[in-house]
Structure 1
Amino acid sequence: MNLHHLAIFHAIAETGSISAAALRVHVSQPALSRELKVFEARLGVVLFERQSRGMRMTEPGKVLHTYSTRLFAVADSAQAAMRDFADARAGQLSIGASNTIGTYVLPRYIAEFRKAFPQVGISLFVGNTEQVAQGVADLRFSVGFIEGPIRVEGVTTKAFSRDELIPVVGAEHPLATRKRAAPTDINGLPLLMREPGSGTRELIADLLQALGVQTGSIVEFGNTEALKQAAIHGGGIAWLPTISVTRDLEEGTLVRLPVKALALQRPLSIIRREGAWQAPAMEAFLEMVR
């Protein structure tokens, strides 16, 4: 069925006259009358009775009108949905974030964004840097937030903030009462680390190697909170982001080691797939985070 002819029919059915329908669809009255006759001929039915005071639908016309009403209502809904996408009022955001950002930074922004854009759905995956970067490269995530270096091709990286990783121990650790210490004072001591693939672990390993520190036994953890709890209970030395231990340091359950050389400054970065289309809703979210 020709949608142009159906639109003409629908305009006549809705307005009740050739002249009003012609104004609605921006077609001259003679042209519109010709198109209607062609449409009726193709269907093999008469859709309107021509009356002196307008057009009256026949029974076939009434049936067709129920279908055209549904069809053009769907078209109007589709157009409205596209407008929502265009001005960030709809859509689905798929975000990947490495542990610190996903746990301590993004939840607040997601809550604020949902208040401003309640119709936009959001999914957040929290993993290590390698998992997030690969997810962005594979288009499983529209955007990623990471804390360490990446080794994945096809993504662009842009820093939006900085973070400090500090070495901490539990209050009962032998180094907890030291006023001064050197990097080599931790030679051979048990270390608490993130799992392989974590950008944080890679940064710490490079730092210890550069300082000539001999690493002791390593216990691996899959997230920052588990790492922190192990440090609090005396499991060893951990490097944790300042944002995650502020209260613990104030309460004394964790103690920062007095070794400036063991602290790390690292960028917090946004990563995207090169050349990938970015929905307006995602741009609005990124603008809030920046």
Structure 2
Amino acid sequence: MNDMYKVFITVVEQQGFSKAAEHLYMTQPAVSQYIKSLESKMGVKLLDRTYKKMVLTKAGEIVYEHAKQMIGHQETMHHLIHELYNEPKGELSIGASYTYGEYVLPRIIAQMRKEYPSIHPKITIGNTQDIAKQVADMALDIGIVEGEVEEPSIDVHPFADDEMKIVASHDHPLVQKEEVTVHDLEQAMWITREKGSGTREATERMFENVEIDPTERMEFGSTQIIKESVEAGLGLTFLSLWTIRKEMAMETLEVIDLPKATLKRSFSILLRQKPMHTKATTVFYNLIQSHK
């Protein structure tokens, strides 16, 4: 039965029988037979092949989701049994939002590789909602994000505070101004992250707190590009202090410190709800907790 599920999952993810057969080192008729057998056992059609592009039926969506979870639990079970008698090892899929992933995570990975060389991290960087979805789908073992996550299948563990402030270039007119007003902020050009990002969510919350709705905005999908744009004098932004430590030390970026425009939030660890996690996941979880 497990083989049927694995073949079905591969057909869905490879978007076709031919690619699935190639991926599984099987013949296409063999793959087709597995799918027919699974559909017969379930008593329903799982794949709709009447269109040019193969699509899942509603029943197929249910089988795909639960088959992925079942196989994921089995793989975890085998890892856990093996790890009872061995050091932590194997691949560890880690997801992180941009702020943590680009500015904090590299140091933790370096520490883990030094202490546990048999663990092989695979890193995915994305916005908060993307990482949460991949943890929920078991495509990632663990995630580290900022911002709100509402996903019933995920355990959310806040572990560190983050402070966000308005940031401008060293020679921006508002940095030189003795008192910055709400009107100044509303008339300024703002450079923000994309929707779905925890940083964008925090920026919108700050706009509400200060009671502004800037009309001049530019949107980028990378914190690094935003920092460089602000350094070049293109506008203001709202960033975590973790992300601008080097630039503040070099005095290329400055903070515009307004009480209403300061926001505190938490970084959180995301774990899929399971009875147990692999030893590699637990090791990494503990390293994150100790690196505050």
- TM score, norm. by length of structure 2: 0.68
Please report how far the alpha carbon of residue 263 of structure 1 lies from its aligned counterpart in structure 2 after TM superposition.
Answer: 1.6
Tell me: CA distance 1:207–1:258, structure 2 relative to 1, closer, same or farther (3 Å).
Answer: closer
Residue 195 (structure 1) aligns with? 194
Tell me: CA distance 1:177–1:86, structure 2 relative to 1, closer, same or farther (3 Å).
Answer: farther
Following the alignment from structure 1 to structure 2, what is the Cα–Cα distance between the partners of residues 100 and 161? 13
Please report how far the alpha carbon of residue 190 of structure 1 lies from its aligned counterpart in structure 2 after TM superposition.
Answer: 1.0
Following the alignment from structure 1 to structure 2, what is the Cα–Cα distance between the partners of residues 80 and 132? 23
Residue 127 (structure 1) aligns with? 126
Root-mean-square deviation (CA, aligned residues, Å) is: 2.1
Please report how far the alpha carbon of residue 152 of structure 1 lies from its aligned counterpart in structure 2 after TM superposition.
Answer: 3.3
**What SS does structure 2 have at the residue aligned with 1:175?**
helix
Please report how far the alpha carbon of residue 276 of structure 1 lies from its aligned counterpart in structure 2 after TM superposition.
Answer: 6.0
Q: Does 1:96 align with 2:99?
A: no
Following the alignment from structure 1 to structure 2, what is the Cα–Cα distance between the partners of residues 230 and 97? 23
**What SS does structure 2 have at the residue aligned with 1:196?**
coil
Please report how far the alpha carbon of residue 85 of structure 1 lies from its aligned counterpart in structure 2 after TM superposition.
Answer: 6.2
Q: Does 1:247 align with 2:238?
A: no
Tell me: CA distance 1:88–1:264, structure 2 relative to 1, closer, same or farther (3 Å).
Answer: farther
Tell me: CA distance 1:191–1:184, structure 2 relative to 1, closer, same or farther (3 Å).
Answer: same
Q: Using the TM superposition, name which of 218-227 and 246-255 deviates more.
A: 246-255
Cα deviation, 1:61-98, whole Å, max 9, x if unaligned, reads: xxxxxxxxxxxxxxxxxx99954465542121101100
Q: Does 1:185 align with 2:184?
A: yes
**What SS does structure 2 have at the residue aligned with 1:187?**
helix
**What SS does structure 1 have at the residue aligned with 2:187?**
coil
Residue 279 (structure 2) aligns with? 280
Contact 2:191 2:219 survives alignment (8 Å): yes
Which residue identity lines up with residue 266 of structure 1 in the other structure? R
Residue 49 (structure 2) aligns with? none
Q: Does 1:117 align with 2:126?
A: no
Following the alignment from structure 1 to structure 2, what is the Cα–Cα distance between the partners of residues 180 and 250? 23
Following the alignment from structure 1 to structure 2, what is the Cα–Cα distance between the partners of residues 161 and 279? 23
Contact 2:209 2:261 survives alignment (8 Å): no
Contact 1:192 1:236 survives alignment (8 Å): yes
Contact 1:168 1:237 survives alignment (8 Å): yes
Contact 2:160 2:266 survives alignment (8 Å): yes
Residue 268 (structure 1) aligns with? 267
Please report how far the alpha carbon of residue 207 of structure 1 lies from its aligned counterpart in structure 2 after TM superposition.
Answer: 2.2
Residue 176 (structure 1) aligns with? 175
Count of residues in correspondence between the two structures: 212
Please report how far the alpha carbon of residue 188 of structure 1 lies from its aligned counterpart in structure 2 after TM superposition.
Answer: 2.7
Please report how far the alpha carbon of residue 120 of structure 1 lies from its aligned counterpart in structure 2 after TM superposition.
Answer: 1.2
Which residue identity lines up with residue 241 of structure 2 in the other structure? T
**What SS does structure 2 have at the residue aligned with 1:248?**
helix
- TM score, norm. by length of structure 1: 0.68
Which residue identity lines up with residue 246 of structure 2 in the other structure? R
**What SS does structure 2 have at the residue aligned with 1:140?**
coil
Please report how far the alpha carbon of residue 252 of structure 1 lies from its aligned counterpart in structure 2 after TM superposition.
Answer: 2.1
Tell me: CA distance 1:194–1:274, structure 2 relative to 1, closer, same or farther (3 Å).
Answer: same
Following the alignment from structure 1 to structure 2, what is the Cα–Cα distance between the partners of residues 90 and 249? 39
**What SS does structure 2 have at the residue aligned with 1:265?**
strand
Please report how far the alpha carbon of residue 275 of structure 1 lies from its aligned counterpart in structure 2 after TM superposition.
Answer: 2.5
Please report how far the alpha carbon of residue 101 of structure 1 lies from its aligned counterpart in structure 2 after TM superposition.
Answer: 0.7
Aligned pairs for 1:11-30 within 5 A? none
Cα deviation, 1:103-128, whole Å, max 9, x if unaligned, reads: 11111111111111111111010110
Tell me: CA distance 1:130–1:88, structure 2 relative to 1, closer, same or farther (3 Å).
Answer: farther
Residue 214 (structure 2) aligns with? 215
Cα deviation, 1:178-233, whole Å, max 9, x if unaligned, reads: 23323443013111101111011112102212321121322111111111001100
**What SS does structure 2 have at the residue aligned with 1:195?**
coil
Contact 2:199 2:239 survives alignment (8 Å): no
Q: Using the TM superposition, name which of 102-111 and 150-159 deviates more.
A: 150-159
